Structure 1
Amino acid sequence: MKRRDFIHLAGMGASAAVLAGIPSFGKAIPPERALETIDVAQKKQMADVALNAARSKGATYTDVRIGRYLNQFVITREDKVENIVNTESYGMGVRVIANGGWGFAATDKLDKDSIAKTAELAVAIAKENSRLLSEPVQLVSQKGYGEVSWKAPIEKNSFEVPLKEKVDLLLSVNDAAIKGGANYINSFLFTVNEQKYFASTDGSYIDQDIHRIWPTFFITKIDAATGKFETRNALSAPMGMGYEYLNARPQDKIKGPTTLYKGRYDMIEDARAGAQQAGEKLKAKSVEAGKYDLILDPSHLWLTIHESVGHPTELDRVLGYEANFAGTSFLTLDKWESKKFNFGNKNVNLFADKQQVGSLGAVGYDDEGVQCGRWDLVKDGILVNYQAIRDQAHIIGLTASQGCCYADSWSSVQFQRMPNVSLQASKEKRSVDDLIKNVEKGIYIIGDGSFSIDQQRYNFQFGGQLYYEIKNGKIAGMLKDVAYQANTHEFWNSCAGTADESDYRLGGSFFDGKGQPSQSSAVSHGSATTHFKGVNVINTSRNIG
């Protein structure tokens, strides 16, 4: 691409605030503006204005979030740049308790008068809301941390990387796919920087700098003779990392039917393999429906964990707070209270962790100023806990929040959002080959695909990207038209074991929706490759209509 064309396209992209299929993230800005910073002392002064104004109007608790959210989208197709967008959203949200009720207001006008008026409005809203309450808001106690900071441990800030380097990478990815036999390819690079400042009447002033990146592509291969086509999407994971994620090293590669990556990612190599595998899928054998053992790669299993574990253990869903939109949960309080509900068998240990290095949900403190950590959700197969925030914790007998409160913007009120939820790897040395050699009739599934699950997160169906038949302990060739069906309880009780920590990898979602008005959050889910016994598999080509 010529430099003149690149500059022209970049200018067109920078003037756009909305991408097809992607929500608006703020005002368009020139790329270099993303490198500007805001002085922490200035943010503290603004927060104190809000805290003092709310207190003067009768608030018994106040927290302030000052957020600067930066996003960059680079989108290409074959040999063209389709869009480049840089956005910034900057403002303040004020949340208070007054007369026992919550109130919230937000502003992008950050002068002292506007901040004070916003805090006063939040108090007025809280007092009106309190008239409808049957009982006041109950917050578990939270100590103040004073002035502290947390920064994502990145090696290379993605926003410092020149746009030309990013465009050249994506066009090289596309070129590798086309040369490998693909007919079409779209490639994308999404980067995010959240600069978040939190202050509260508990005595916390917390400054955080959070980075995320997601390189991905979508390949299509057409059989010219029949007109049929197959697709293969990227096997990348969105990560809480900097641009170093795109610099894969030899030690990051995991060999199998296709090359996978742990910690880093080679986008060009994946596109080259993807084009070839899309062609192989056209010739692959269509699966025969029936019961199979499944060997599920982390690039696939993350989504099953997200839907069947992450969502049903959200306490607000359990309590019915999300019933109108996101749904409820089959993991009702009586199952937790019994202390003996077998969510899965003894091979299943699931945990939440908001500080998992490289994960999308990694932060030092949540949006209520609670220091984050790790806790068990399912221990040796037994449901032992949920995900709770400060005004929910007392309901399940907790004396402290678990630190999983989040808002996707300064203008959104924070509420309970899913932390990173993951499956613990085997403590015994066990490779993927060790799992496969014990399977007589099975399918090895790599990559995430289409799925459906009911509103209680119980009955589900999942597909993937690549499917390999396993016969008598060996991979026998590629399959297609595969999806498996189960309910959450029977599925996790069919778990026959996982590979060890050396195979543990993260997958995740950049845009997990919840709430009314809807908010989006980013969350990761980790696992090693895992074996499930006797799962029902259907042929998707024979179940259309």
Structure 2
Amino acid sequence: MRRRDFIYLTGFGAGAMMLPSLDGFGKNIDAQQALEGVDVRIKKELADAGLTAAKSAGASYADVRIGRYLNQFVITRENRVLNVANTESYGVGIRVIANGCWGFAATNEVTKEGIAKTAKRAVAVAKANAKLGSAPVQLAPQKGYGEVSWKTPIEKNAFEVPIKEKVDLLLGANASAMAGGANFVNSTIFAVNEQKYFASTDGSYIDQDIHRLYPAFTVTKIDSAKNAFETRRSLSSPVGMGYEYLVPLDSEKVTGVTPRYKKRYDMLEDMKFATTQAAEKISAKSVDPGKYDLVLDPSHLWLTIHESVGHPTELDRVLGYEANFAGTSFLTLDKWKSGKFNFGSKEVNIVGDKTQVGSLGAVGYDDEGVGCKKWDIIKEGTLVNYQAIRDQAHIIGLKESQGCCYAQSWQDVQFQRMPNVSLQPGKAQLSVDDMIKNVEKGIYIIGDGSFSIDQQRYNFQFGGQLFYEIKEGKIAGMLNNVAYQANTQEFWNSCAQVCDERDYRLGGSFNDGKGQPSQSSAVSHGSSTTRFNGVNVINTKRKIG
């Protein structure tokens, strides 16, 4: 994955969806095999073989991750199925400290002998690194948890749902789009199950069963007379849930110009609205550039949070560890040390949270055996903390890790990854309708779109899916060709109002890229609808000739 590259499965329709195989996700398996597990007693015996071998070879610390990673893709276009695939990747990654330095090795030979041999290789790597290293690794203390387990609280395992049921849902949604006048439509359901076992010399043996789901589509409408076309992508969010996400609850419906749900998703309803709105976008008025008050829906704001808050508060970026690939951060340590750096207005309260139910980043324990938690990053507009893991905690005076270490698979070394980073709801009762009533000249933006942001996460530009003009407190019609520009500090200081918790919803990315070699992780960002005053809006319509 390229940095700043969000891979939406909806885009697979003309590209990766057409591939006959899905290399990189593991070997193809039968759907029934995905439901088979590995006995936790066997995993403990295998892990102990690795820990014992590492210590005997001279490691002062070691952890063993036994991972079974399952992916299921159901991919359709118009009235046909393009691909159905079940993949599995299974192996072991071993990380050690020897002579004060890290070493790592991995194997898909999941036997006691294979794991012991790999552990010794990891120690050899650490000792070689020590010859070039400077300061020894400082790990924040972590008490072992003993034998514990955690599972995503799902109601319906997506891997247990028959493929036919998923195909029928997707083709039914596609048919409604075509009947409504769409020219093209593609849709997909992507299910993930990470079965991860972690053991360390600290005394932890942690078994986790993690589930994620992402249903998505893209509708395209062509107007031949105008020589124009528009698309509208689904307003679904990737979630840390089971198949129950696709069983909508009317009680959770959020009213507005397009239907949205707080914790569930109605693909059929969204597809019908998307088909109509794609056609409306063709005829929508092109925006007049200028200053506007922006009312940003959570389906849009999550991406702005991700890029302008999530990434610049990653401590490894702040320290320059990602400078060669992903960039650095304008939120340097001196700003945090001052204790008074003005990141945003008093309305801006942003937390890191690895515990939020239904989110992509929710797990019980991270990939170095730390129990997950929630903490303040921005409090009443002031920068108060970063995102750190065990070997970074001492740098910012923490006595323990914040539990945000992750590896995309067993064969990749774990490192600091973004937790769920979310804007907290406003405390005063405020609905979206009430917010809009007080806007004289504004734009209501729904859904994420194209974006650009500099390497320090400071100057940026964001588009969206749907844009509605607000005049004198009322929605006046659809706009098109809208993007807003600002710098991070200026933008978050323009935050004037945040709707209350009744409107709070999650957005997120299945594929956030970082590191060299590059790794991908899944992360959610929550917010309620939020108002930003006096933001610069540009017209993105391309001029020909």
The TM-score with structure 1 as length reference comes to 0.96
User: Superposed, which structure 2 residues align to 1:364-443 within 5 Å?
Assistant: 364-443=364-443
Q: Which residue does 1:310 correspond to in 2? A: 310
Q: Could you tell which deviates more after superposition, 249-258 or 266-275?
A: 249-258
Q: Which residue does 2:343 correspond to in 1? A: 343
User: Superposed, which structure 2 residues align to 1:232-381 within 5 Å?
Assistant: 232-381=232-381
Determine if contact 2:18/2:82 at 8 Å carries over to the other structure.
no
Q: Distance in 1 between matches of 2:225 and 2:169?
A: 32
Classify the secondary structure of the residue corresponding to 1:445. strand
Q: Distance in 2 between matches of 1:399 and 1:344?
A: 27
Counterpart residue type for residue 159 of structure 1: F
Q: Tell me, yes or no, if structure 1 residue 473 matches structure 2 residue 473.
A: yes
Q: CA deviation at 1:381?
A: 0.3
Q: Distance in 1 between matches of 2:18 and 2:483?
A: 40
Determine if contact 1:366/1:404 at 8 Å carries over to the other structure.
yes
What's the CA shift string for 1:6-58, capped at 9, x where partnerless?
Answer: xxxxxxx999542xxxx621001011100001000000000000000000000
Q: CA deviation at 1:428?
A: 1.2
Q: Which residue does 1:198 correspond to in 2? A: 198
Q: Distance in 1 between matches of 2:544 and 2:300?
A: 23
What's the CA shift string for 1:311-335, capped at 9, x where partnerless?
Answer: 0000000000000111100000000
Counterpart residue type for residue 468 of structure 1: Y
User: Superposed, which structure 2 residues align to 1:532-543 within 5 Å?
Assistant: 532-542=532-542
Q: CA deviation at 1:249?
A: 1.3
Q: Tell me, yes or no, if structure 1 residue 67 matches structure 2 residue 64.
A: no
Counterpart residue type for residue 457 of structure 2: R
Q: Distance in 1 between matches of 2:445 and 2:55?
A: 56
Determine if contact 2:221/2:278 at 8 Å carries over to the other structure.
yes
Classify the secondary structure of the residue corresponding to 1:462. strand
Classify the secondary structure of the residue corresponding to 1:541. coil
Classify the secondary structure of the residue corresponding to 1:496. strand
Q: Distance in 1 between matches of 2:71 and 2:252?
A: 27
User: Superposed, which structure 2 residues align to 1:64-213 within 5 Å?
Assistant: 64-213=64-213
Structure 1 alignment gaps of length 5 or more: 1-12
What's the CA shift string for 1:412-434, capped at 9, x where partnerless?
Answer: 00000000000000111110011
Q: CA deviation at 1:544?
A: 8.2
Q: Distance in 1 between matches of 2:231 and 2:265?
A: 20
Determine if contact 2:377/2:386 at 8 Å carries over to the other structure.
yes
What's the CA shift string for 1:297-347, capped at 9, x where partnerless?
Answer: 000000000000000000000000000111100000000000000100101
Counterpart residue type for residue 147 of structure 2: E
Q: Which residue does 1:519 correspond to in 2? A: 519
Determine if contact 1:17/1:25 at 8 Å carries over to the other structure.
no
Q: Distance in 2 between matches of 1:96 and 1:351?
A: 31
Identity %: 73
Counterpart residue type for residue 220 of structure 1: T
Determine if contact 1:14/1:30 at 8 Å carries over to the other structure.
no
Q: CA deviation at 1:261?
A: 1.1
Q: Distance in 1 between matches of 2:253 and 2:442?
A: 25
Q: Distance in 2 between matches of 1:35 and 1:456?
A: 44
Determine if contact 1:17/1:24 at 8 Å carries over to the other structure.
no
What's the CA shift string for 1:454-507, capped at 9, x where partnerless?
Answer: 010000000000000000011000000000000000000000010000000000
Q: CA deviation at 1:204?
A: 0.2
The TM-score with structure 2 as length reference comes to 0.96
Q: Distance in 2 between matches of 1:223 and 1:42?
A: 60
Determine if contact 1:14/1:85 at 8 Å carries over to the other structure.
no
Q: Distance in 2 between matches of 1:120 and 1:133?
A: 20
Q: CA deviation at 1:134?
A: 1.2
Q: CA deviation at 1:543?
A: 7.0
Determine if contact 1:78/1:178 at 8 Å carries over to the other structure.
yes
Q: Tell me, yes or no, if structure 1 residue 445 matches structure 2 residue 445.
A: yes
Aligned residues, how many? 529
Q: Which residue does 1:224 correspond to in 2? A: 224
What's the CA shift string for 1:370-421, capped at 9, x where partnerless?
Answer: 0001000000000000000000000000010000000000000000000000
Cα distance change of structure 1 residues 220 and 365 upon mapping to structure 2, 3 Å threshold:
same
Q: Distance in 2 between matches of 1:231 and 1:14?
A: 20
What's the CA shift string for 1:183-220, capped at 9, x where partnerless?
Answer: 10010110000000000000000000000000000111
What's the CA shift string for 1:489-528, capped at 9, x where partnerless?
Answer: 0000000010000000000000000000000000000000
Q: CA deviation at 1:227?
A: 2.0
Q: Distance in 2 between matches of 1:439 and 1:527?
A: 20
Classify the secondary structure of the residue corresponding to 1:84. strand
Q: Distance in 2 between matches of 1:162 and 1:443?
A: 43
Classify the secondary structure of the residue corresponding to 1:411. coil
Q: Which residue does 1:34 correspond to in 2? A: 34
Counterpart residue type for residue 449 of structure 2: G
Classify the secondary structure of the residue corresponding to 2:541. helix
Q: Which residue does 2:463 correspond to in 1? A: 463
Q: Distance in 2 between matches of 1:180 and 1:529?
A: 30
Structure 2 alignment gaps of length 5 or more: 1-16
Structure 1 runs, 4 residues or longer, greater than 3 Å off: 13-17, 542-545
Cα distance change of structure 1 residues 544 and 525 upon mapping to structure 2, 3 Å threshold:
farther
